[in-house]
A = this chain, B = another copy of it.
Amino acid sequence: MSDPRARNGRPTSRDVAQDAGVSQSTVSLVLGGKWHGRVSPATARAVQETADRLGYRPNAAARNLRLGTTRTVLLVVPTLTAPFFGSVYIGAARVAARHGFGIVVYPPDDARPAGPAGNPAGSPFAVPHEAIDGIIASSMTQQALSGFGGTPVVMLDSGPAAAAPTVDFAVEDGMRAVVAHLAALGHRRFGHVAVDLDEWTFQARGEAVADAVAALPGGVLDRAAGSIDVTSAKEAAGRLLDRPVPPTALICDDDLMAAGAYKAARARGLDVPGDLSVTGFDDVQVAVAIEPELTTVRLPARELGEQGMSALLDLLEGGRPETRPLPVELVVRASTAPPSTAPPRT
């Protein structure tokens, strides 16, 4: 016997064929939906019925092997604990569904499978071992991209310098809009609460803030970095607030960090926005959960997913997808106001 595995209880198309008294190819034809004019309606109906009765479900591995395609793409995201990526998924899944594709999500997080037992780590087996046609990688560092082999990849929110087709946000526009808004309110002394991650989007945000403030007569910028959580952001914001001449506005790289900035302000008896203006970035749920509601930059996450999937589809068909940065939108809410001390007159 050369059959090493326990024969799974699942019926095969052969079983269906046998039970229905037809050949396996007929079953394949019928269940594949391409029997019209090739199989008699009566036979087709019979086959369909036996398949249902037996609870037949095609073996995906066999089908994939035969077809050479899985109509499945992998969405790789840096984390699942940020609601942002849920929206990216929804956008991508919608477009995918329209083309008969499925999407699975693969968050590297901290727990990568080691590959099938018995294989040395670092072997080609160590990468996600699902059968997929392509990959959409969102907001990853460049180095995280290694190991995808020859699989077609579209990168999201990873900057124009990426080694693959990419869809980006116009984050620079967003930061410029933030600074302009704050400047119009009268602010000149800014603090940038930055994310301490080596990803394009945060670097771009940082540079845009620096440039915009530098271009502002009398503008001065201070900066502190932290990780994307409330406590770390509170500390970073606190450092800025404790300077001899503190900023009158805190520009945060992320909405959650803005919540931390609120806390730093409150701990120092500062009112937001009366004594300190605060802005966020992303416009996720938390922006309207905190009080006062946050002035922030809305990132069209769903659209990012849509465009990313479209680009990948294009790529899979041999095209060379071209994309433009997605426009972002400043959402002014209640966390920004004129500074309490008059700005220095020039």
Contact = CB atoms under 8 A, between A and B. Distances in A.
Contact of A96 (B64, B83, B87, B111): B111
Interface stretch (A121-129, A158-166, A172-180, A245-253): A121-129
A100 B81 contact: no
A204 to B, nearest CB: 25
Contacts of A65: 59, 61-62, 65
A149 B52 CA distance: 11
Nearest to A83: B81
Interface string A91-127: 0011011011111111101111111111110011101
A138 B77 CA distance: 20
A64 B67 contact: no
Contact of A286 (B10, B32, B286, B291): B286
Number of copies: 2
A56 B124 CA distance: 7
A230 B96 contact: no
A82 B286 CA distance: 11
A242 interface: no
A150 interface: yes
Contact of A114 (B89, B97, B110): B97
Nearest to A132: B60
- Most B CB within 10 A of own CB, among A61, A87, A96, A97: A61
Given A80-B89, A130-B130, A68 B5 contact: yes
Contacts of A117: 99-100
B119 A32 contact: yes
A320 interface: no
Contacts of A263: 291
15 contacts: A10-B150, A57-B149, A61-B61, A64-B64, A71-B129, A80-B105, A81-B87, A90-B109, A96-B111, A97-B114, A104-B105, A104-B128, A105-B106, A230-B288, A230-B289
Closest 3 CB pairs of A and B: A80-B86, A81-B86, A61-B64
Interface of A: 5-6, 8-10, 31-34, 51, 55-65, 67-72, 74, 79-83, 85-87, 89-90, 93-94, 96-97, 99-107, 109-120, 123-125, 127-132, 149-150, 229-231, 256, 259-260, 262-263, 266, 285-286, 288-291
